[in-house]
Amino acid sequence: MFAAATKSFVKQVGDGGRLVPVPSLSEADKYQPLSLVVKKKRCFLFPRYKFTSTPFTLKDILLGDREISAGISSYQLLNYEDESDVSLYGRRGNHIVNDVGINVSGSDSVAVKASFGVVTKHEVEVSTLLKEITTRKINCDHSLVRQSRSSRKAVLCVVMESIRTTRQCSLSVHAGIRGESMRFHFMDEQNPRGRDKAIVFPAHTTIAFSVFELFIYLDGVFELCVTSVSKGGFEREETATFALFYRLRNILFERNRRVMDAISRSQLYLDDLVSDFYDKPLSMTDISLKEGTHIRVNLLNHNIPKGPCILCGMGNYKRETVYGCFQCSVDGQKYVRLHAVPCFDIWHKRMK
């Protein structure tokens, strides 16, 4: 009966689909802000999830003894009084009959009256909590974390808001028949024994709550899924391996792309130099044959090994040569390696 009343409350109040009815009166005190609950999908035939309470709070599974400083604000939400009749042939009516166990023989409906009075909403300061958890980690050896991780369908959630009553409340269910001129007839004087039932529960009872899912990484770092788009869960070892593989692959692809771009730019520069060299008359470019100019030499004759040309041998493609010039020096080196044609003449034309 309590579950039927809380479901009716959530259906009428709504909250964009985030509000969850408390399933049992005996567990109502376990759905307080910052408490942990386990969200688990029943099976593929039932799209709705099942929420199971736990005896732990978020602080219990965090490393360290520091308290969570995020505050909890509260305000009055509404005054809730509801009286409705439910057909026994519907799913909700079947749930009510199973919950309360009343005698429904000769009846086609049950009347449900819920008097919650003024209810209050208590919610965690999300911005403060998000700032604090950036420096905190979850203890992955905690029993609740280990057991939840072992189940592929379980997701750990944090209660972010709860809706509570402010006074002693009552729930009553009465079996009867629908009248022709009235919405529903209570036939108290004709009712056989056991056709009605009522319960009273104390003030400050939680009747609904909402949660944020947790996504927990292998190293204990975690995130609060503050939107319905993001999903909670656990990072699996195989998932982390694939993520590392794709990250390394992307790094290699990016590095190769940069190398190819650099090669392309250097090739274009070299092509421009060569084109510029061959486009000029020989008398203007072959300055190495003029009197008093620098002379090509074979560096091997001077015990200098083969090496990259200073013009076209830089970069990833090492274009090497045995020729050079002793009259030129670069970076303290008393010679410069240059291809005989055309790098030697291009170099000295630029230097001149």
| pLDDT tens, the chain, 352 aa long | 788 788 888 888 876 678 889 988 888 889 999 999 999 876 666 557 888 999 999 999 998 888 887 888 989 988 888 877 666 665 555 555 555 555 555 555 667 788 888 999 999 998 888 888 888 899 989 999 988 888 878 899 999 999 999 998 888 877 665 543 333 344 444 444 445 677 888 889 999 999 999 998 888 888 888 887 888 888 876 555 666 677 787 888 888 888 777 766 666 656 555 555 444 444 444 444 444 578 889 988 888 898 888 887 765 666 788 899 988 888 788 888 888 888 888 888 776 5
CA distances from 66 to 52, 58, 61, 201, 220 (A): 26, 12, 12, 35, 16
Cβ contacts of 151 within 8 Å, gap of 6 or more: 40
Q: Where are the domains of the chain?
A: 1-254, 296-338
Query: Given this model, what pLDDT does residue 95 score?
Result: 58
Written as six digits, the tokens of 204 are 């400050």
List beta partners, residue 199.
171
Query: Given this model, what pLDDT does residue 45 score?
Result: 60
Query: Given this model, what pLDDT does residue 247 score?
Result: 76
Query: Given this model, what pLDDT does residue 316 score?
Result: 62
Query: Given this model, what pLDDT does residue 284 score?
Result: 41
- Judged by phi (left if over 0) then psi (alpha if -120 to 50, else beta), residue 333 lies in beta
How is residue 315 annotated by DSSP?
S
For residue 196, count other CB atoms closer than 10 A to its CB. Answer: 18
Assign 243 to helix, strand or coil. Answer: helix
Query: Given this model, what pLDDT does residue 191 score?
Result: 47
Query: Given this model, what pLDDT does residue 159 score?
Result: 94
CA-angle at 163, arms to 160 and 167, nearest 5°: 145
CA-CA distance, 61 to 37, in Å (whole number)? 12
CA-CA distance, 288 to 156, in Å (whole number)? 79
